[in-house]
Copies of this chain bind each other. A is one copy, B any other.
Amino acid sequence: MPLLYITRKEHFNAAHQLWNSNWTEEQNLAIFGKCANPHFHGHNFDLYVCVKGQPNPDTGCVMDLKKLKVIIREEVIDHLDHQNLNLDVPWLSGQMPSIENISVAVWHRIAAKLPVGVQLHKITLWETQNNFVEYLGE
Contact = CB atoms under 8 A, between A and B. Distances in A.
Interface of A: 2-11, 13-16, 18, 20, 22-23, 31-35, 37, 39-44, 50, 55, 58-62, 64-66, 81-84, 87-88, 95-101, 103-104, 128-138
Tell me what chain A mostly uses at the interface: helix, strand, loop, or mixed. mixed
Most chain B beta-carbon neighbours within 10 Å: one of A3, A23, A42, A136: A42
Nearest to A123: B4
A60 B97 contact: yes
Contacts of A103: 4
Nearest to A34: B82
A112 to B, nearest CB: 16
Contacts of A129: 9, 11, 44
Contact of A43 (B43, B96, B98): B43
B8 A82 contact: no
Contacts of A6: 99-100, 131-134
A31 B98 CA distance: 31
